[in-house]
Every structure is written in structure tokens, then in C-alpha cells.
Amino acid sequence: MTTKENAGLDHDAIIVGAGFGGMGAGIELKKLGIDDLAILEREDDLGGTWHVNHYPGLAVDIASVTYSYSFEPNPYWSRLYAPGAELKKYAEHVADEYDLRRHMVFGVPVDRAEWDDDGQFWTVHTTDGASRTARYLLTATGFLSQPYTPDFEGIDTFEGKIIHTTAWEDGYDFTGKRAAVIGTGATAVQLVPEIAKQAGELTVFQRTPIWVVPKIDFAIPQPVQELFAKVPLTQKAARLVNTSILEAIMVAGVLHYKQAKIGNKGAALLAKAHLRRQVRDKKTRKALTPAYDFGCKRPTFSNSYFTVFNKPNVNLETSSIVRFTPDGIVTADGRTTPIDTLVLATGFNLWDVNFPAFQIIGRDGRDLGRWWREGRFQAYEGITVPKFPNFLTLNSPYSYSGLSYFTTIEGQMRHIGRLFGEMALEDKGTFEVTEEANQRFLDRATDNLQSSVFYAGDCSGSRSYYFNQHGEATLLRPNATLPTLHEMGTFPLSDYEFRKTPAVEPVNAP
């Protein structure tokens, strides 16, 4: 049932996305007594990226003690870096534990939402032609959720098998196949060693090399898991140590590159030494060495990626792809690589189609996607936008904080808690961030970024998705995590304008 203030609407709140971000928001809203939620999900199950991605080799790249909700630790992670399937199970556990499943509706892609300023509510349209109303709209549609397939000439004439890493066919057998992988991002780094174990021949098409550092990973012994379960403080301590190391890497190596290049340069040296130890051929090593600074692009961790290129059945192709034929790929040097299976590890489109993931129309007809693209990408504290009342955009410019996505989620939960707590106290139902507060946040973020590796380092040629189409690095929030978390729970309430909401006539009123 909707709260009495929202009688006449379908729901108190609609959350779009049933991944960890959407579930975190759901947990927070329920804690605040906002219990009529609809969590609309495009996929057929919960878990977001951990439901969609299930390619071989998938695992987290932030240690699991940190890559989880701090308030819902899982003592039973099997490894320091848990495999993807455990994350999916963990998401299911959280949904049950916090009674979120009954709010979830699957297989309903949202294609549009618009704000009604008279009634002060959102109408959310789904691709099946239906619509729902709610006082609040929260989008938790992920950063990396719109798969990208380059428009290669002739790809439609290719007669072999094509698999995008986000639509993996479990059990697909590469034995004896002439396989190609296009892309050398974090996904390929995990997947390529697995394909190389099976394929007759494997060609990896690399456009831009990636920094790869060693991965210190091991199975967590059962006695340690039991200790974590019996004495949760021990797991908290492990989390604190790991999170602090990550934070130091991010603050020194990425955000304060200008002042402390040494950490960043040290990481690059470590990656180069790793490559030297693992790859025998000098020419291959050179081809695998990035020409941009460490941190311009998300670096990866692997002990098995580089060694693949020593195998006789694996070839690294650096000549650019010109076109496809029915049975191969033609490169700029005029050669054709014959293949029967093509794996697209080509990543995601963020800035053209994912910010936001569907059309959102706010007050005075402001179209969020158009406004961001034609102006600058921006969101106050990475969560609210002027002229979009009662709207929280959880995957937005400057929202990604710290190296673990759970830091971002928990910071946003704090923000939601403070905002809705204030509205309850003041008996208000509508909030909107002021233009002045938004501008102040944007100016500060822009200013802080000047010291980061993105602007003070050399990122030219990195082709990093941290940069948008205007050349601005607007994904990461350029602040240390602790001040960010503090700010998310203490931001000035005067940064918002609050209104009392009018009663909405129930749709079925006589």
C-alpha cells in the first residue's frame, strides 16, 4: 500500500534496476518506512551485472571483503576475489534477507519517465505500453549495462558464431575452433586465458593495450570463513585493511597524480616487470605495453593473461580491423585471419546511450540526456539534478566513489536517508536540488579533477570510458572516500528546496 500522502498513485517509489545499486536504495527506503516500491528490471532476474555476465573466468577485481555491503557481510566467500557466480548468489541472499523480491518485476524495460509538476509525481512507461505512477523515481541502471558492438564493415556477412561477452552461451565448446576475441579490456583479460585452454587457434585483436598488475588471490580456508562467521569483527578488520589499501592507491595514484606521481609510476613499473617476467618475446611485450599513464583506464589484475601469448595456438593481432568476410577478419596490413567463432569483448556504451538509460523528462520539459549531452554531464553529489524533483540518479556523472561500487551505493544510501529524513520531519513530500548547489558541486569536481591522472597525466590514446564525448572525465567523483561518505550524510539541507505535495485523486475514485 502506498503511504497516505501518496494515495492515488501506483507506488510511493519506483526503482529502475534490480542490481546491487537498486537493492541498496530499496533497503534504505524501506528502512525509512517507504514500503510501496516497485523495482522494475529489464532482465529476467535480479543481480544486475552479476546476472547478465557469466562468461568463463568472471570474478570480482576488488577483494570480496570490500566488494559487498558493509552491513551484510558474507563470511563464506570462497576466494579473496570471489567468482562471479558467488556474487549472483549473494545478491539473491540480500534480496531475501531484506524482503526485496516481492517488489521486483522482471522483464519490463523502462523506456521513458516524465515528471508531473502539478500532481508532483513521476509517470514511468515500460516498453510493453504500460505505465505506473510514483512520488519518487530512482534509477539504478548501472554504468556498464548497455553492451557495445562496433559496426564493423561486413560483420553481417560473417557466417560463423558471434558471442558478445554479455550474452554468453554457457558451455560453449571452443575445442578445435579458430576463435577471435576483439577487445583487451578487463573482460578480455579474464576470458582470454579460458578460451586459450580450449581453442585450436586464438587470435586476440588488440587496439589499445591495457595495464595489468599481478593478482594476489587465494582460496579462503574454511577455518578463516568460520572465524569470520563467529567473530564478525575479524572480517570487519580485514575489510578495513583492504579498503584502506585501495583508498591509498586511488587517492595517491589517480586523484593526486599531480602531487604524487611516484605511486602511479611505481604501479606502471610493477605492471611492466610483470609483463617482462611472463612474456618471452620482446616484440609481443612491446605490443602489450600501454603508451598512456597507469589509471587513465581501469587497470586489471591477472596472473594468466600475459602468459597466454607464449602459447603456440595464440596470436596477438595489432593491425586494425578493416572488414569481415564470411569466414574471417581482414586487417589493415592486407592479411585475412580465418575464424569460425568471434567473441566480442568490446565493452559498453556509456555516454551516448546510458546516461541516462532511458528518456527522462523533468520540470519545464528538461530532457536529462539531451541536457547532459548538449551541455555538461553533471549531478549534485552524483545523485540529484536541478529541474528533476523527486528523482535520484544513482549511476550518474561524478557518482562513482572509491574503487568498490559498494562505497558508492552506501554513500548514496546515506544521502537518501538524510533527504527523506528531513522531508518527514518537515512534513514535505517533494525535493529538488537548487541550481546554485549543483553548480557549486560541479565547479568543485572540475577543480579537483585538474590534479588527477585524467588531466595532469597523459591519457591521450587511452580511449578510456572514464572520458565522455566532450573529453571530460566525469565518471569518478574526485574526492577521497571518507570525506565523501561524511558529506553524503551531512550535506547542507539548504541545497534542496522542499515542497508539500498535493493530494492525488485516487484513479478509481467515484
- Residues of this chain that interact with ligand NAP (CB under 6 A) are 59-61, 144, 150, 182-188, 190, 205, 207-208, 298, 321, 345-347, 463, 465
In the complex, least distance from residue 53 CB atom to ligand NAP, rounded to whole angstroms: 7
| CB nearer to ligand NAP: pick between 63 and 433 | 63
Maximum pairwise Cα distance, the chain: 80
| CB nearer to ligand NAP: pick between 371 and 377 | 377
Cell numbers that stand for 424 in this block: 518527514
Cell numbers that stand for 401 in this block: 566513489
d(CA 327, CA 338): 6
Looking at the chain, how many residues does it have? 510
In the complex, least distance from residue 67 CB atom to ligand NAP, rounded to whole angstroms: 8
In the complex, least distance from residue 144 CB atom to ligand NAP, rounded to whole angstroms: 5
Cell numbers that stand for 446 in this block: 572540475
CB 3 within 8 A of CB 97: no
Torsion of CA 434, 436, 439, 443, to 10 degrees: -140
Buried b (16+ CB within 10 A) or exposed e, 255-292: bbbeeebebbeebbeebbebbeebbeeeebbeebebeb
In the complex, least distance from residue 301 CB atom to ligand NAP, rounded to whole angstroms: 9
Strands in 207-259 per DSSP E: 212-213
In the chain, the amino acid numbered 203 is T
In the complex, least distance from residue 290 CB atom to ligand NAP, rounded to whole angstroms: 10
| CB nearer to ligand NAP: pick between 59 and 368 | 59
- List Cβ neighbours of 129 (8 Å cut-off, separation of 6 or more): none
CB 12 within 8 A of CB 2: yes
In the complex, least distance from residue 134 CB atom to ligand NAP, rounded to whole angstroms: 31
| CB nearer to ligand NAP: pick between 76 and 152 | 152
Buried b (16+ CB within 10 A) or exposed e, 146-163: bebeeebeebeebebeeb
DSSP H or E run through 413: helix 405-426
In the complex, least distance from residue 225 CB atom to ligand NAP, rounded to whole angstroms: 21
∠ CA 432-433-438, nearest 5°, is 155
| CB nearer to ligand NAP: pick between 208 and 289 | 208
| CB nearer to ligand NAP: pick between 52 and 124 | 52
CB 22 within 8 A of CB 405: no
| CB nearer to ligand NAP: pick between 31 and 298 | 298
d(CA 433, CA 121): 16
Cell numbers that stand for 17 in this block: 534496476
CB 282 within 8 A of CB 310: no
CB 199 within 8 A of CB 179: yes
In the complex, least distance from residue 379 CB atom to ligand NAP, rounded to whole angstroms: 20
In the complex, least distance from residue 465 CB atom to ligand NAP, rounded to whole angstroms: 5
CB 368 within 8 A of CB 123: no
| CB nearer to ligand NAP: pick between 280 and 463 | 463
Instruction: Give 115: exposed, middle or buried? Use CB within 10 Å, 0-12, 13-18, 19+.
Output: buried
| CB nearer to ligand NAP: pick between 339 and 345 | 345
| CB nearer to ligand NAP: pick between 205 and 324 | 205
In the complex, least distance from residue 397 CB atom to ligand NAP, rounded to whole angstroms: 16
| CB nearer to ligand NAP: pick between 16 and 186 | 186
- List Cβ neighbours of 258 (8 Å cut-off, separation of 6 or more): 450, 451, 452, 456
CA distances from 442 to 355, 385, 479, 491 (A): 17, 11, 13, 15
| CB nearer to ligand NAP: pick between 107 and 150 | 150
In the complex, least distance from residue 360 CB atom to ligand NAP, rounded to whole angstroms: 24
Q: Tell me the residue nearest to ligand NAP as measured from the CB.
A: 185
In the complex, least distance from residue 318 CB atom to ligand NAP, rounded to whole angstroms: 10
Q: 356: cis peptide before it, omega within 30°? A: yes
In the complex, least distance from residue 32 CB atom to ligand NAP, rounded to whole angstroms: 31
Cell numbers that stand for 391 in this block: 528523482
| CB nearer to ligand NAP: pick between 174 and 351 | 351
